[in-house]
A and B are shown apart, each in its own frame.
Chain A
Amino acid sequence: MSDSASGSADKSVQVKLVLLGEAAVGKSSVVLRFVSNEFQANKEPTIGAAFLTQKCRLEDRILRYEIWDTAGQERFHSLAPMYYRNAQAAVVVYDVTKASSLEKAKSWVKELQRQANPNIVIALAGNKIDLVQPSASSSSSTSSPESEDEADDATATPDEAPPTGTEPESLRQVPREEAQAYATEAGLLFFETSAKTGEGVVEIFTEIAKKIPIEHILAATRGNGARSASGNPRAEGSQQSNVNLNEDPNKSKDACNC
C-alpha cells in the first residue's frame, strides 16, 4: 500500500483496463473474481466502485491494473469519452448462453476501435461457461444453476434463469469456434471464462499483460505521453508540472495515497 500511485517508483506499470459488454453478462463478476477471488451469486447491479486495482506479476515486471467499470453508463449509450481514454486494455464480455450478447460485444469492439487508443489490447471473454459444462467440472459449486443468474446490471432485459435439469451444453448459444473465429479475425485475445468457478479469469489478465507494450507505457509515464518526446525544450518541464490532487499532504485523510 505504500507504493506511489505514479507507478514509476518501482517496476510496476499502471495499465488502465476498461470493461464492456451487454448488461448481465457478468462484467463485474469477472473482475471481482480476478481482484478478490470471490464470486457473489445474484450480485446487485454495478454500484459503488469507481475502479478496482490489482497487481499482476509478469516475469520481472509488475503490472498494476486499474480496472474501470461502466457504472451502468453504457445502458443508454451514454458512456463518456473519459471512459475509453488512455485505456491500454479492454475486456469485452459476452454470455455464452446468449447469442445476442456476442453481437453486442462486436459492436463494443467497433466502438473501441473508433474511440480508444489505437494500440489498445482487447480481449473477448465468453463468460458463464460453467452453465454449459457437465456439472462434474464445476464441482466446487454447491448451488443449482439458478444462482448463476447474475443480475450484473440494472438493464431492463429480463435474464431468465436457465432451466435446471436440462443438458448443460444445450444452453450454449455461442459456439466456441464461432467466437474464436471472430476474435482471430478482429485481432482480439479470446477466452471462455466462468466468474463463478474462476476458470479462465486470471488467464485473461495475464495474457493481456504479455501483450501490453510495457516499454511504450513506461516511456509514456516518464515523458507524459511518448508523443511529447519532442525537441521542445519545455517538454521536460511540462511533464513535471503534472500534479496528483490526491497526493496533497494537507489532505491526507481524503487522499487515496495507495
Chain B
Amino acid sequence: MEESQFDVVVIGTGLLESITASALSKAGYKVAHIDQNSYYGAEEATLSLDELAQWIDKQQSSDTQNSRFKHAKRSDTVPKQSRQYAVCLQPSIIPSIGPMISSLVASGVAKYSGFRLLDCLTIYNKTGSIANVPSSKEDIFKSKEISLLDKRRLMRFLTFASGEFEGKQELEGKEDLPFPEFLSTGFSLNENICSVISYALAFCLSPDDATLPALKRLRHYLRSSGRYGPSPFLIGHYGGTGDIAQGFCRASAVSGGVYILGRDITGIAPISSDPNGFNYAITLSDFPDTISTRLVITSPSNSPLPVGVTPRQLSRTSAQVSNIHCMARGILILDRPLASPPQEPLSDFAETAGDVDENQTSPPLAIDTGILVFPPGSVQGGSSKHPVTVLVTGEGSLSTPKGKWIVYIGCPLSEDLEDSTTAEDVLKPYVDAILSLSTNPSSGPIDPLFSVSYLEYSPQELTNTTNESTYIIVPPPAIASLADICDELTVDAEATFKAAIQVLRQLSPRENDDDEYPPFWPPLPVEEEDNEW
C-alpha cells in the first residue's frame, strides 16, 4: 500500500476510538488516527489548567441549541504551574477486575501508565459530616456502630450480592424493581444502609435504577476488592482516562498506526468503484497528501456527515440508565485538603450512638485520592432524585503539584432544565458543602483557586443508518457513573473492533483470515518484554 493509503481511518482520539485503533493496528491493519485537536483524548482528554481554560472558552463560543457541552463557565485567572495539573474531562475510577483492566494488561498499555488504589470511599449525610463506606465484610464485622441485627441483614445481603444470584428466589420477579426498594423490602435493610449500598457501593445514578443491573455492578465491585489491595478501585495517574487513551494511541503507533493530530478535516469524499478498493478520500488542512481508506470509524462528535454517505451507527452494548441524558459537571482546584472521616466506618449511620470516637482528638487526615458520594436529598437545595459523586485527586495520583487538589463533581440529571439554569446553579449546594469539609474548619470554608462548570449532554444515536456501510459511527458515549465509564467504553470499543473486522474482511480478504474473529488483544510480542540484561 502507498504511504497515504490505509485500511482504516479512525477519527477522534477519545478512549473508545483509541482502544479500537490500537486493537486494529495490532491485528495487522494499516490505521491512520486523526484528531482535529492538538491533544489526545478528545472529550475524555486530560488537560493542563491552561488547556482546560481554553477548552471551556471554546465550548462557550460554540454553545448552540444542540451542543454537547452547554453553559460552560470558568474562573478568570488560571493558577500558576498550569502544566503540573492533569485534569480529565471524563474522570473515572477503574474496578480492579473487568474489561478496562484486562485490556490495559493484555495490550501492554498498563506499562505506560501508573495506577494507584483509591484511598477512601466516603458518604455525606444530612448532618453535614462524612463517613467511610465499609468496603468489605471485615469492615462491617468490625464496626461497633451498626447494630447486630443490621449487621446480620447486611451480611446476608452481601453474601447474596457477591454470589450467583441469577435465578435465586430473592430476585425472582424483582429484576426491574428500583434497587433501593429491593433492598428495603427484600432484605429489610434500613434507609441509611440502603442509601449507602445503592449510591456508594453500586453507584446507582438514580433511585429508579433497576435491581438486576445494579446487583451485577455491585457484584463486579465486590469481587474487584482485594485484587490489588483493599479498595476495589484503581485510579490512573496523571488524570486517568485521557492518559489511558494516550497509552492506547502509543500502543497503536508501536504497531504501525499513523498519528495526525491538530489538523481539521477539510473533506471526506466517497470514492465509487476504486480499482484498489478505497472508499473514501480524506483531505486535511495543512497536510499535503490526500488520505485514501477502505473504512472510516468516527466518533459521533465528528459532524456533519459527508454528503452521499449513509453511515452505520453502532449502539451501546450496555447503558447504565437510559433516562439520564445530562450531567452537570464541576471541577475545583483547591489549595487546602478535604478531611477524611474518622476510621470507624458508618459511624454516622448508626442507629445506636457509639462510644466516643478516640480519633476525635487527633487532627483529621487529608483526602489525597478518594470518592465522596452525596445520596439524593442529602444536601439542602440539592437534587432530591439523584446522587452526586465527587472524586478528589491529589499529588498521590500525580495529577497536581504538591499541596493542591482537583475536585470533580458530577450530578446526573433526568429532569429537563430551564434554559437559563447553568451547571453552576445545579452544583452550588454541593460545592458549598464540599468546601466546608476542610481539615481545619476553624479557618472557614475553602476558597477554590479555580473552578469550571458545564452541562454535558449525551449525544443521540443517528437514525438514518444502514448496516452495510463502510462509514462506522461508534456508540455515542453514555452518561455513566465514574466507576463504570471506562469499562463501558472498553466493551463498546471491542464491539466496534469486531464490526470493523467484519467489514474489512469483506473489503480486502487476507490469506490468514479464518472463520474466527482475531482476538481483541493478540499475545504481546516477545520483544515487548524486557530485552537484554
Contacts and interface: CB of A to CB of B under 8 A. Distances in A.
Interface of A: 1, 35-36, 47-55, 69, 71-73, 75-78, 80-83, 85, 154, 156, 224-225, 227-228, 230, 232-235, 237-239, 241-246, 248, 250-251, 254-256, 258
The interface centre, meaning the residue of A48, A76, A77, A256 with most chain B CB atoms within 10 A of its CB, is A76
22 contacts: A1-B533, A49-B254, A50-B250, A50-B254, A75-B259, A78-B259, A80-B246, A82-B112, A82-B113, A82-B238, A227-B402, A230-B403, A234-B119, A234-B368, A238-B119, A238-B368, A242-B117, A243-B234, A250-B227, A254-B105, A254-B106, A256-B529
Contacts, number: 151
Interface in B104-137: 104-106, 108, 110-119
A35 to B, nearest CB: 5
SS of A interface (majority):
loop
Contacts of A52: 527, 531
Contact of A227 (B251, B395, B530): B395
A225 B368 CA distance: 15
B525 interface: yes
A182 B225 CA distance: 54
B287 to A, nearest CB: 8
A75 B256 CA distance: 12
A82 B246 contact: yes
A251 B105 contact: yes
Nearest to B40: A80
A77 B119 contact: no
Contact of A78 (B117, B254, B260, B531): B260
A225 B395 contact: yes
B398 interface: yes
A81 B533 CA distance: 29
A217 B277 CA distance: 53
Interface string B493-533: 00000000000000000000000000000001101111111
Nearest to A224: B396
B254 A54 contact: no
Interface residues of B, number: 59
Contacts of B261: 76-78
Contact of A237 (B119, B254, B259): B119
Contacts of A77: 261-262
B524 to A, nearest CB: 7
Interface string B83-109: 000000000000000000100111010
B530 A233 contact: no
A209 B137 CA distance: 49
Nearest to B41: A80
Contact of A242 (B40, B114, B259): B114
A243 B116 contact: yes
B527 to A, nearest CB: 5
B396 A227 contact: no
B342 interface: no
Nearest to A32: B531
The interface centre, meaning the residue of B106, B111, B234, B531 with most chain A CB atoms within 10 A of its CB, is B531
B424 interface: no
A164 B82 CA distance: 53
B259 A73 contact: yes
A245 B110 contact: yes
Nearest to B402: A227
Contacts of A75: 258-259
Nearest to B289: A156
B347 interface: no
A48 B106 contact: no
B80 to A, nearest CB: 15
